[in-house]
Structure 1
């Protein structure tokens, strides 16, 4: 879904008119409908979703035209994307490794990979900034959380730290001053 009046809020509808109520992006209404397992992410000036591959639209480059409707990213075809989050000009895509994807246009390519381990699947990624320093948090399927510093000028992840949260995570959420982690209910963990 997409809505907005002015600026980038209208992108995804192939037309430049104000939208005052949410509606589906036309590309995802007929043959390319979004299943319940779709991963969706919205940055400050662009949006992305997965329907077998990653589609992106909005302001993709610092200069040039915006993408008015979703287009697939060729370099990510075949990836099994299970989580994604957006920054200002970066997307973070997770499967069995964590990939940093810069938004440089239609030929976007990942510029770094962080291997999380062969048996650990990233369940959620969250980009956040504390005191002006950008961090990438990655919740793993085994109850651990990885914390990276992000160098936004070159797109590199540094200072990897691993923390145990004790239980499997359901969701990471950014609040005004902190990050909240929602854990699995106790009855589901005991099964």
Structure 2
């Protein structure tokens, strides 16, 4: 990937959508909604799944299907979110790919790097493939949602086209912040 262009540098490019979905002003990619899904936990009793009274939280780019409902379990509940709760101890990376092969390769690399399959979700539409990663490997990024898209841009200093990554990071208040402010000095 070439240059990383932080969209927080452009004060006038704040979220202006009424539906709380982020649209990158440079690539015109509109990211899908993010859903916080409460999934009832179960255990096997005599080879039959039984609800144990607790829930797991998942983050997805599409609403759960009615096919996911297990008999005898409470329904999955999905809430649209545009920011994380201050108490969340993780962050979300939402990455757009124009090419499904690149998205598949990236998803496979996530598996090789140890990301659990339930922490990598995908969504495909006419704009391409989106991957949502639930991560907890960078303490300063906790509580943020980071959107990433890319496009080819002419770089005058090089006199050539280069693929650039456009990044927008939102904090728990829903404010667009410079990515660098949560990446510097991660070890501190």
**What TM-score range do you get, normalising by the shorter chain?**
under 0.3
Q: Greater RCO between the two (CA within 8 Å, min separation 6)?
A: 2
Q: TM-score, normalised by structure 2?
A: 0.27
